[in-house]
């Protein structure tokens, strides 16, 4: 049974995570895809093609991506190379304290170039990427023409 995991499942956006796929056939060619929807409902996604090792595993931190949104060994590549489906959109988080970005990770058999909804992933999981840690206070700043926010640790 194929399984894709993200460790830790919930983390701050600037912290590394480990993505791992298990249960594949040795040397199986797969596509790993990451996607999320921003606060306006715009979809951002990335994908990378991998060949499973002899144990039937894929770890982007150890195994080189053969192509897709990037190539080579990039442990966080699936998250760093997210691109908008609609041109000229930027991935911006406005509500940094209230909710995380929920990133969906999916693994597909073979090379999967499009986002055809009929394609069923072999496995999937979800990761939360928070921008503010637990207990951090956000204090709005308005002084003259200066606007900003002060984040105070617990």
Residue count of the chain: 154
Number of domains in the chain: 1
Q: What is the pLDDT of residue 139?
A: 93
Digit-coded pLDDT (tens) for 98-134: 899 999 999 999 998 776 667 899 999 999 999 999 9
Cα 132–15–33 angle (5° rounding)?
105
Q: What is the overall mean pLDDT for the chain?
A: 94
Share of the chain above pLDDT 70, in %: 97
Domain that holds residue 81: 3-152
Per-residue tokens: 32: 């790993």
Q: Distance (Å, rounded) from C-alpha 75 to C-alpha 117? A: 27
pTM greater than the 0.95 cutoff: no
CA dihedral 7, 66, 49, 68 (to 10 degrees): 100
Predicted confidence (pLDDT) per residue in 6-21, tens digit: 999 999 999 999 999 9
Instruction: Give residue 119's pLDDT.
Output: 83
Q: What is the pLDDT of residue 78?
A: 97
Burial class (CB in 10 A: 0-12, 13-18, 19+), 143: exposed
Task: With beta carbons less than 8 A apart as the criterion, state whether 83 and 50 touch.
Answer: no
Rounded to an integer, what distance in angstroms lies between the CA atom of residue 83 and that of residue 19? 19
Query: CATH code at 41?
Result: 2.60.40.2240
């Amino acid at each position: 049974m194929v399984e894709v995991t993200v460790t830790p499942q919930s983390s701050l956006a600037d912290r590394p995570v480990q993505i791992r796929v298990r249960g594949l056939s040795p040397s199986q060619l797969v596509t790993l895809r990451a996607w999320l929807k921003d606060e306006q409902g715009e979809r951002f996604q990335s994908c990378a093609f991998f060949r499973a090792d002899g144990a039937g595993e894929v770890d982007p931190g150890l195994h080189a991506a053969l192509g897709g949104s990037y190539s080579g060994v990039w442990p966080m590549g699936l998250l760093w190379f997210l691109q908008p489906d609609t041109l000229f959109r930027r991935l911006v988080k406005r509500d940094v304290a209230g909710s995380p970005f929920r990133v969906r990770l999916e693994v597909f058999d073979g090379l999967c170039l499009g986002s055809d909804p009929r394609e069923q992933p072999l496995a999937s999981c979800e990761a939360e990427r928070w921008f503010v840690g637990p207990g951090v206070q956000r204090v709005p700043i308005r002084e003259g023409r200066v606007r900003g926010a002060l984040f105070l640790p617990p």
